[in-house]
Every structure is written in structure tokens, then in C-alpha cells.
Amino acid sequence: MLNKKYDVYEGSVENRDLNFLILTALLRLLKLPRAWILIKTSYAFQSFWEQQSVPKTMLISFIAKLIVTTHWIACTWSFIAFIQVRTFGQALGEEPNWISYWFESNYVEGGVNPIGYDNDIDRYALSLFWSIQSVTSIGYGNIVPVTRLEYYFANILMLVQGLYWAFTIGNIVSVVRHMNSNDQQYTRSLDRANKMIQSFSPINKEEVGALGHPERIAKRIRKFVASQYDYKEIIERNGDSNTPRLEELYPALPGLSNELRRLASLQLMGKYLEMIPYLSRKYLSLEEQSKLAFKCHFVEFSRADLYFKHPQFGRGIIIPKKGMAMSIGTVGNHGIIGRGDLQTYGIDDPFGVEDVLVEDTFLNDELPLYRFSSYALVIFIPQSVIYEVLNNNVRAWKNCGRWKYLQTCLLKLARRKKDGLSSFARTPICPLGNDDLYDAVK
């Protein structure tokens, strides 16, 4: 706001001097867009912006643009009254303009007073009120243009602002709808689960022990759906598959170049592969790890689910991303056998790293059995994929993999011998074909 000494009605400066001061002040405002461009192009701002959620940042961006737009319109509307009267003093309420008209018809003693150099906050609040009601097309009608210049500005604003407001509303609605997509997906999933539960066949009390109580199963299903929603890990599946791969879990990957896909896969899966000694960068190249990452699956388990092998992919390594699991014994032809050496596995705590190397025929009677104690989202690396990697990388097998294999086989034989079952033990046949190791175990 201008200082009182620039009031031309007090004769302190000439009109031409005042015009020069106004033009200088407006030219200074041109530096603000340049400063904003420098901020937007800075590395710190771009890094921060890229880490945020797209819908939320878009919504914040639209709101910020709306605030800035209404601010500049308010400043211009207030400035139009000044440029016509050349003062913010008492003459502002005496000459014809929108402020004097509002003051005569709406002013209340002790309320907002836009006239005077000391009332710049009230004047801005009144201008901002007109700006917001014009932008939002509310139009209370208590602030109206009076002079020809004010009518010209209001006409142009109504034409331009109608298009701007329609664009803004359309984008805000789109962003809010995207932000609510998780809630909508949860509602659809729960509705489908309820319809399925209603189709459960009634059973007799004698069948409850074999099939399980329908109400308990229904409760587990609903809790599983709710757990997916709570963890914000609702997976966009292709078809009916519940074991999506990396490209299905992250739909942005297929649209990237080969190099970016490789780098992105290592960022997403690299730390998990490093948890497995024979799949780490010590033995595998970055290219090999990237190819392996795209062959991993993401599998969900509910609370109390049992696992010893996947029904489609067989045995493999499991790395929990969410939830917990516990080893409860072994499973084989004679049912579940508890060993008493219970072990708990939490987030980023892989299991099956050694056992997966041993062939199924040797572990057929004692496959490790695990139970999940909560909803779990896990990374599953199939045994066939691990065999393929070790077959193509002799160094990883000889320097690391075969010793894990040998350790598991010897522990298995020792346990059988302790239980008096050594005569029935099958001799391991290394799936990767290593005669020296075969002779050592034999």
C-alpha cells in the first residue's frame, strides 16, 4: 500500500510522479514469477515433489493456484479504485467507485471500513471477498462495479474466470475421485465377499470338524479383506490371478525403457535379493538380479494360513513384506509333525533359503511347515527360478549355494539317524548335478 505522503489531494507530489511510482511497483511484481520458476527448477524442490503422492500434490497445486488467482484479482480490484481516485484517503469514499458505493449502502459502525491508509487490511478483505464470489460464480451483489473501468474489468473477469473455474472444478473432482478409489475398491471387495459368504452351503454339526465352522470362515474372509485395506496394499490383479509379478503390481514399469525398467526393478527388489546369499550382488550381476526380480511373485496370506509349498509354483523362498509367520514343524505322508524348535519370521526376514535348494524327493516326508499369525503380503521366489539362476551362474552355486544345500542335507540325515529312520532315508540327488557333493552326502 502507498504511504500517506503520496496522497495527491494533499499536494505533496504531482500526478506524473505518482504514476511513475505505481509503474515501478508493478514492475517489481514481475520478479515473482521468475523467482517461482527458479524454485520449481531447483533440485531440492523437484526431489521433494517427486516423492509425494500424485493425487494429493495435484490437489494441493490446484488449491494453491486458486488462492494465488483470487489474491491477484483482489489486488487488481482494489487498485482500480485507487487508480481512479488517486488516493486511499477520505476522497475514496467521496468519488464514484465500487468502494464508495459499498460504503454508502453496506457500512455498519464498527464493521469493515475500506477507506483510509490505516485500513488496508479491511480493504483487502473486502476485495478478496468480491474476488472469491466472482471466481466461484456466487455473486452476492453487495459489491458491484460503478465506473466504466470497473465494468470493463468485471466483464473480462467473468468471461475468463468461467473457463478457469470449469477447468479447476473438473480437475479437483478427478483428483478426489482418484483419492477415493481405495475406499471404493474396499467396498466392492467386501460386497463380493459377502455375496460369496451368503452362498455357503449349510452343514451339519458332524461336518463342522472336517469342513470348519461357516461363521468362523466368514469372519476370516472379512478380516482378510479388511486387512488388505488397512495396509494400503490392495493389489491390482490381472484377471483372477492372486500371484502378480512386479509388472502387474507396478503398472508403470511396462511403459518404461529397458534401462529404466532394469534400474526400477533393482530399486524395488534389490534389497530383498541381497538377503539371500547366493542371489546377492556378490555372485549375481545387476542384469541377472533384474531378470530375477521380474520372475518373483507377490502372494497374500490370511491369519492362520498354513504354507509348505505353493499350489501352483511349488516350494520357494518367502520374504514377508507385511505380517508374520512361524515355523511349526514339518508336513509329509504322516501328517504334521511338530519339532518343538519354533521360530518366528517378521518383515524382511526370509525363510526357506536353505531348504529350497534340496529336491522334493529328499524332503518329501519332512517339508518345512509355516503358519501365518496375521495378514501377510510376501515376495515368493519359486524353486524353479532359483534352479535356473544357479544353473546359469556356476560361481554362485559352487561358492555359496552348494554349501547351503550340503548343510540342509546333513541336518536332515542326522535327524533321521537320531530318530532311527536312517535305513529308510533316501539319498539326495542334487538337482543341479554335482557329483562331488553327491559323494560327500552319500
- At residue 10 the predicted structure's pLDDT band, cuts being 50, 70 and 90, is very low
**What's the rounded Cα separation, in Å, for the pair 84 and 432?**
91
User: Of 147-156, 271-280, 416-425, which range is least confident?
Assistant: 416-425
Q: Please give the pLDDT value at position 432.
A: 60
Q: Please give the pLDDT value at position 212.
A: 58
pLDDT > 60? residue 206 = no
Inter-residue contact 366 to 412 (CB < 8 Å): yes
pLDDT > 70? residue 41 = no
Q: Mean per-residue pLDDT for 309-328?
A: 89
How many residues can be counted in the chain?
442
Q: Please give the pLDDT value at position 2.
A: 39
- At residue 235 the predicted structure's pLDDT band, cuts being 50, 70 and 90, is very low
pLDDT > 70? residue 108 = yes
Higher pLDDT, 12 or 335: 335
pLDDT > 60? residue 311 = yes
Q: Mean per-residue pLDDT for 199-219?
A: 61
Higher pLDDT, 374 or 35: 374
User: Of 89-93, 155-159, 182-186, which range is least confident?
Assistant: 182-186
**What's the rounded Cα separation, in Å, for the pair 88 and 120?**
9
Higher pLDDT, 271 or 32: 271
Inter-residue contact 293 to 355 (CB < 8 Å): no
Higher pLDDT, 205 or 304: 304
Question: Average pLDDT of the chain?
Answer: 76
Q: Please give the pLDDT value at position 40.
A: 60
Output the pTM of the full model. Answer: 0.54
pLDDT > 60? residue 393 = yes
Nearest Cα neighbor of 347 from 381, 316, 324 is: 324
CA end-to-end distance (rounded Å), the chain: 94
All domains of the chain in start order, with CATH: 4-179 (1.10.287), 181-193+212-234 (no CATH), 235-424 (2.60.120.10)
**What's the rounded Cα separation, in Å, for the pair 410 and 362?**
12
Q: Mean per-residue pLDDT for 381-408?
A: 90
Q: Please give the pLDDT value at position 7.
A: 43
Check residue 326 and report its DSSP letter: E
User: Of 29-33, 243-247, 339-343, which range is least confident?
Assistant: 29-33
368 has which bridge partners? Answer: 330
Higher pLDDT, 226 or 346: 346
pLDDT > 80? residue 126 = yes
DSSP secondary structure string for all residues of 132-195: HHHHTT---SSS---SHHHHHHHHHHHHHHHHHHHHHHHHHHHHHHHHTHHHHHHHHHHHHHHH
- At residue 320 the predicted structure's pLDDT band, cuts being 50, 70 and 90, is very high
Using DSSP's 3-state secondary structure scheme, residue 254 falls into: helix
CA-to-CA separations, 353 to 323, 356, 357, 386, in angstroms, rounded: 19, 6, 8, 10
pLDDT tens-digit readout, 417-438? 766 554 444 555 555 655 444 4
Q: Please give the pLDDT value at position 316.
A: 93
**And the C-alpha cell for 231?**
495396509
Q: Mean per-residue pLDDT for 195-210?
A: 60
Query: Highest mean pLDDT: which of 86-95, 143-152, 369-378?
Result: 143-152
pLDDT tens-digit readout, 54-86? 666 777 777 888 888 899 999 899 889 888 888
Q: Please give the pLDDT value at position 262.
A: 82
Order of strands across the sheet that contains 316-322 = 297-301, 376-382, 316-322
Give Cα 440 to chain centroid, integer Å. 51
% of the chain residues with pLDDT over 90: 19
Rg (CA), the chain: 36
Within 10 angstroms of residue 183's Cβ, the number of other Cβ atoms is 10
- At residue 292 the predicted structure's pLDDT band, cuts being 50, 70 and 90, is very high
pLDDT > 50? residue 234 = no
